[in-house]
Amino acid sequence: MTKTSFASVSRRAKVALTVVGAAATVALFAGFVSPTPNGWRLAAELEIAKLPVCYAKGTDAIGRGNLQAGKDIYAPCFTNDAELAVYFPGTPFDGPPSSTAVGTNAWADFVEDVFTSSGYTATQHLIGSIDVDVTDEDEATMTSYLHATHVLPDGTIDVANGTYEDEVIRVGGAWKIKKRTLKLITFLNLGTPTP
C-alpha cells in the first residue's frame, strides 16, 4: 500500500509541475511577464532589425522598374517626414551629403532617377551586420552594412558598399526610421567574366 500511495503522489506532483510550467510558459509568451528585465528591449531590437530588410525590398522593387511598389514597401518602415541622405564615394562624411530627400516618396523618386539614368535593369541590395542600440522605449539607433549589385544591359554590374546610419523611433506602437544616412565607401563596375 505504501508503494501505491507513493506512486500516486509522484504522478500528482508531476501533473502539478507540468501545469505550473505550462502556465508560466503561456504567461511568458503572452507578454504578461518578461523573461528578463530587458525583455522588451530584445523584442524592440528584433522589430527594428527588420527595417533595413524592408528598405532593401522597396529599393529592389524600384530597381525592377516598379516605382509604386517601392513606395508602398517603404511607407510602413519610415516616418512620414523621414530624412534620407546619401554620401557618394569621395564625398567627405563630415560635410554635406551628395543628395537628400524628405519623405520616402521623394527618396523613391530620387532612387528611380539614379537607377533609370544609369540604365540598370535590376538591383539586389544585401543588408548585413545590423547593430541596434535601443536607447529607451521609444528611441533607438541602428547601423547596417550594404552590399548592392546593379545590373547593366551589357551584363556588367555596378557594386556598391557602404554603411547605413539610422535614427529610429516608435510611432503608434511600431518602430520606424526617422533619419537614414547612407555612406558609400565604394562603387565599382565589374565586367562579365570571360568563359
Residue 139: give its domain's CATH number: 3.10.450.50
| 10 pLDDT higher than 80 | no
Residues 25 and 54 in one domain: no
Residues 60 and 85 in one domain: yes
pLDDT tens digit sequence for 78-115:
999 999 999 999 999 999 999 999 999 999 999 999 99
Residues 65 and 6 in one domain: no
- pLDDT given for residue 155 in this prediction: 86
- The verdict on residue 158 lying in a domain is yes
How distant, in Å, are the alpha carbons of 56, 58, 163, 169, 190 from that of 145? Answer: 11, 17, 5, 20, 20
Residue type present at position 115: F
- The verdict on residue 86 lying in a domain is yes
Residues 184 and 126 in one domain: yes
Number of domains in the chain: 2
- The verdict on residue 65 lying in a domain is yes
| 129 pLDDT higher than 90 | yes
d(CA 37, CA 156) in angstroms, rounded, equals 51
- 146 neighbors 185 (Cβ within 8 angstroms): no
Residues 29 and 122 in one domain: no
d(CA 14, CA 26) in angstroms, rounded, equals 18
- The verdict on residue 195 lying in a domain is no
pLDDT tens digit sequence for 17-31:
444 444 444 444 444
The answer, as to whether pTM is greater than 0.85, is no
- The verdict on residue 28 lying in a domain is yes
Range of the domain at 6: 2-33
